[in-house]
Amino acid sequence: MIQPFNRRDFLTKASLASLAAMGAGAPILNFGNKAEQMVASADTVILLWMAGGMAHTETFDPKQFTPYEKDMDANRVLSTFKSVPTALDGIHFSEGLEKIGKVLDKGTLIRSYVAADLGFILHSRHQYNWHTCYEPPQTVAAPHIGAWIAKLKGPNNPVIPSFIDIGQRFTVGESEELKAFHTAGFLGNEFGPFFIPDPSQGLDSVRPPIGMDLKRFEGRNQLYKNLINKSAWGEVGSDYQKESLQRSMEQAYMLLNSPEAKAFNLKDEPKESYDIYNTGRFGLGCLLARRLTEQGARFISVTTEYEPFVGWDTHENGHTRLEKMKAMIDGPVAQLIKDLDKTGHLDRTLVILASEFSRDMMMEGRPGATVKEQVAQPDKISEMKFYGMHRHFTDGCSMLMFGGGIKRGNVYGKTADERPCKTIENPVRIAEIHQTIYHTLGIKPDTNVEIEKRPFYTTPDGKGKAVMELF
């Protein structure tokens, strides 16, 4: 039985898990079955995160288009945009995604991701599940997939942080919930994300503040180390966790003094290229991701940013909001793929575009597992703000994968053409997505670390299996 779970419960459990992670000693790493041989097909992973719930029927899996009419029957509406052709014969995207459609021949479209049943649907819980592969709450802070990769694979370039997170601020919306999975947990801070909230100011992340010379910056660095010892980290944190935090600071300091720091300066990008990517913070994040990939980054996340009732979180004005979201992502995502392909980096770079779940106008949850409705949908649509997909739907979500050994020009899975537009062929769940990503990097499914005197696997119980049909 699915238990109800509210925001307060989530925060309480997450806080306790974080404290447990602070006190954890050095994790004992087990790389899995030594007899099993795996060859990596990727060196770098780029996650393009559509935070907030991207409706599959309005993006990469369009259904019958129903134009807006005042007082129309809400149940008739499956897609509010026309469908447009892609580079693959017979495969269509939703209007507004034409540029991404033209590069679909370079990757794979997954139309059958099925999100977990987590009870009352909270974005933060499903995002936690997607990024860590674990269902909250956990007794310790589960590491983000980027942290696992940073720990298990190490840096491609010792100067470039192994895990870089671009675009998510923690000054908006559900900041504490977001922090719960933007962490390396018990693996140690050195494997956690290097945050760049605004890619247009990325250079500021790797240099002293204006007016501060290098000597003063060095003094502040030492002062910060002293403060750590007097903080909760000093009181509760294990020696391993404190040393890991200091190593993360030293890595940032090393980057500051390196030639590679220039990669963060988007002003160096030729104007023609810069203008293509410049659709806002997400678009420039894609540009920064490309530049960092060229410098040897290991894992990069670029997000449209989660903020309640903003972006893909279309609880009203779904159609008009999605017009803007598509304009934000279409050009930059397509250009990122073309640029990586042109330079040869796409062969060894896995690019994933995904969201925590999809949306449907009439159903919250999935058939047979509906949950408490959070949005009132009138039977008749009398205002434009009700025209669009704005309830949380977990039984049919679309994803894109490019590069890193993934098939080109491939479509996997299928959803029904009539409501509910649920997955009807080849369902894929989060453990399979994670192990597919790990497989490209040569990470075995039974890889784990010993924590709290028990093994903690990259996927729950080490049972995640790569979807080999994608390769």
Condensed to tens digits (0 to 9), the pLDDT of residues 63-78 reads 999 999 999 999 999 9
Q: What is the mean pLDDT of residues 330-347?
A: 98
pLDDT of res. 125: 93
Q: Is the pLDDT of residue 396 over 50?
A: yes
Distance set, CA 116 to CA 111, 135, 396, 421 (Å):
16, 8, 11, 17
Cβ-contact 121, 130 below 8 angstroms: no
Q: What is the mean pLDDT of residues 254-259?
A: 77
Q: Which letter does DSSP use for residue 386 in this model?
A: G
Distance set, CA 290 to CA 47, 204, 300, 405 (Å):
12, 18, 9, 18
- Other CB atoms closer than 10 Å to residue 420's CB: what's the count? 18
Hey, is 358 helix, strand or coil? strand
Q: What is the distance of C-alpha 195 from the center of its chain?
A: 14
Q: Is the pLDDT of residue 80 over 90?
A: yes
pLDDT, one tens digit per residue, over 286-328 is 999 999 999 999 999 999 999 999 999 998 899 999 999 999 9
Hey, is 328 helix, strand or coil? helix
At residue 2 the predicted structure's pLDDT band, cuts being 50, 70 and 90, is very low
Q: What is the distance of C-alpha 386 from the center of its chain?
A: 28
pLDDT of res. 261: 86
**Short-list 250, 258, 241, CA closest to 189:** 241
**Which comes out higher in pLDDT, residue 122 or 16?**
122
Q: Is the pLDDT of residue 414 over 80?
A: yes
pLDDT, one tens digit per residue, over 104-114 is 999 999 999 99
d(CA 265, CA 383): 45
Lowest-confidence pick of 80-84, 174-178, 407-411, 431-435: 174-178
Element (H, E) at 399: strand 397-402
Q: Is the pLDDT of residue 116 over 70?
A: yes
Counting residues of the chain whose pLDDT is more than 90, the rounded percentage is 68
pLDDT of res. 1: 38
Q: Which letter does DSSP use for residue 345 in this model?
A: G
Looking at every residue in the chain, the average pLDDT score rounds to: 88
pLDDT of res. 5: 59
Distance set, CA 402 to CA 104, 264, 397, 408 (Å):
9, 24, 17, 7
pLDDT, one tens digit per residue, over 152-193 is 999 999 999 999 999 998 888 778 889 999 999 889 888 999
Architecture of the CATH domain 7-12+38-470: 3-Layer(aba) Sandwich (3.40)
At residue 120 the predicted structure's pLDDT band, cuts being 50, 70 and 90, is confident
**What tokens does 279 get?**
């659709």
**Short-list 15, 11, 2, CA closest to 124:** 11
At residue 141 the predicted structure's pLDDT band, cuts being 50, 70 and 90, is confident
pLDDT of res. 19: 47
pLDDT of res. 123: 92
**Which comes out higher in pLDDT, residue 222 or 52?**
52
Q: Which letter does DSSP use for residue 409 in this model?
A: S
